[in-house]
Chain A
């Protein structure tokens, strides 16, 4: 056992990198669920974003364009879901699952000619004196811009949801779409916009995997990250701040256990791997024990909405 081999600043740095895709995707899903829609297609939208971002970044040589394309790709795919669920009132759970299968298939089709290619690298930001700080410089202030964008987006999502009229409307729709409709709020318009946002964020998360974290394109490379993002939303009891904690906890545990193993610490890997899921279950139990009704889930979550005349 040689704990000194672990460099804390490098570990924190890779923790942030490992958590960013989860954070992005979970934030997007949070907004979707806050609007009362359950989109289980996160995995499919992530992997679609991963290949769209990868392909465009490779073709154009610009990671920024790649991330833009990833957001567009994810949003476009989510519109299929939006049209089916909002327009045709299809079952949200089944449609979301179908979206995942569709996304996985579509991405491997699109990605066939991109196997084994190196993407243009996304440079680390130089934050001047901040990057030179001991420990903190390497751990927090020498990442690529996407890491900071994801943190900024966390704040932005929190602010919009809790401090703006748009956010209030969105939450009202998620809590009771019939009442919101009676008030003259545009239920379908808000929901469609939320779904598109969720798709774009999942796409960004996927592109972060293929452009920065791995970086390469491999079929099926999200390997369940979309499902973890869904779990994080529940874990966070639908709050933006806790999404950040959840994502860093999930990402952090992965990185921590790999580092501990590499340092030769004898430790039951299985337990660390399952711990985030256990915590999620625990959070759910604690939440449902609280009083009678108040689970934190939006009350209209997953219910179809059909405007009554």
Chain B
């Protein structure tokens, strides 16, 4: 594995180095993806954002991207090379790129960096993320209403706040409409490994789950659910509409295009400054994919009502009373979670079983 990664890194450098001669007054924007752009999920949507930037600015912008970059030292090399080859703005689109981004940004004060889903900023580093948990709440509601076995499977990737938030939000919403519901969480420790994701989905289904939520990037769990029949799933990061109407009954779609266009414009205008962005359903960064006909009309209406309520700010997915898993009080009646706690969430809410791995 190491060898291949090293070599991929080296190949990436070679590919980028050739681009270094194309210096002109175009704004050069780099993108670094954790998976292939054809994953049909997370990296796919970021690449859609890149394409939207190209379309919006036409000749005024040049974009470069590098896909399947491992989180770690290789990421640092790829970023360095992008910065050296004249990129003005670099989007690093996975949580694990956070420290590499900070390191490289310190060496290139004139290059702007944007890191997705992290929590660190610097003079020339912004971070941005979407409030996926708002979408998770809508999924949780549908899941809670649709399950017959009352067992909901959840394929988690890494134990980071974003993923834990999603589990909690989905669980709270499901529990609200179906007090008997039970969550089984499997940590896959990967963002992208179709075979493993499919195996995880199968293990959950074999143990009685009839709803599978995923926080990994490929459509493999959808395929596994389709194979098993009578199991519903939700598209993650991308619509995954090719699996509608069954097993995929709805989805969370990440729409990065407006944000990317906005930030590139800021660099062009010289108005770019470091900030943290965390947008949800209301500004359109999180979209809920079409709820398919496999969902009864009343459940669909209920889900859409929840979506609207969240968008208008009337409902917050984390509204008290909520206890932590150990039974200690977290939010009192009517209190909503503050962004700081959400951003660093490292605990399950009461009712979830199992431990969060370190």
Contacts and interface: CB of A to CB of B under 8 A. Distances in A.
A223 B35 CA distance: 10
B195 A214 contact: yes
A129 interface: no
Contact of A264 (B37, B40, B184, B195): B184
B185 interface: yes
- If over half of A's interface residues share one DSSP class (helix, strand or loop), that class is named, otherwise mixed; here it is helix
Interface residues of A, number: 48
Interface string A26-50: 0000000000000010010000000
Given A14-B199, A111-B38, A218 B4 contact: no
Interface stretch (B49-57, B95-103, B350-358): B350-358
A125 interface: no
The B contact surface, by secondary structure, is: mixed
Contacts of B226: 118
B356 to A, nearest CB: 10
Contact of A213 (B37, B192, B195, B204): B195
A122 B353 CA distance: 37
A209 B203 contact: no
A79 interface: no
Interface in B317-358: 353-355, 357
B11 interface: yes
Contacts, number: 134
Contacts of A10: 206
Interface string B194-217: 111011101110111100000000
B39 interface: yes
Nearest to B200: A258
Contacts of B240: 116
A254 B220 contact: no
Interface string A256-270: 001101111010111
B251 to A, nearest CB: 13
B106 interface: no
Most buried by B among A219, A254, A266, A268: A219
B184 A218 contact: no
A288 interface: no
B184 A263 contact: yes
A115 B40 contact: yes
Contacts of A304: none
B199 A255 contact: yes
Contact of B203 (A108, A218, A255): A255
A97 B11 CA distance: 11
A270 B224 CA distance: 24
Interface in A212-247: 213-216, 218-225, 227
Contacts of B199: 14, 18, 213, 254-255, 258
Contacts of A296: none
B348 to A, nearest CB: 12
Contacts of A254: 196, 199
A168 interface: no
A36 to B, nearest CB: 21
A259 B189 CA distance: 14
Given A116-B219, A255-B199, A269 B38 contact: no
Contacts of A121: 227
Contacts of A215: 223, 227
Interface residues of B, number: 51
B167 to A, nearest CB: 13
B294 interface: no
A151 interface: no
Contact of B38 (A40, A218, A255, A261): A218
B224 A259 contact: no
A60 interface: no
Interface string A93-133: 00001001100000010011001111001000000000000
B290 interface: no
Interface of B: 1, 3-4, 7-8, 11, 35-40, 68, 153, 184-190, 192-196, 198-200, 202-204, 206-209, 218-220, 222-224, 226-227, 240, 242-243, 353-355, 357
13 contacts: A7-B207, A97-B4, A101-B8, A115-B38, A115-B40, A116-B40, A220-B68, A223-B190, A223-B196, A224-B1, A258-B203, A261-B354, A266-B354
Interface of A: 5-7, 10-11, 14, 18, 21, 40, 43, 97, 100-101, 108, 111-112, 115-118, 121, 209, 213-216, 218-225, 227, 254-255, 258-259, 261-264, 266, 268-270, 273
Given A213-B199, A218-B219, 14 more contacts: A108-B38, A209-B194, A214-B195, A214-B224, A216-B222, A218-B194, A219-B36, A220-B35, A223-B190, A255-B199, A261-B185, A262-B184, A264-B184, A270-B357
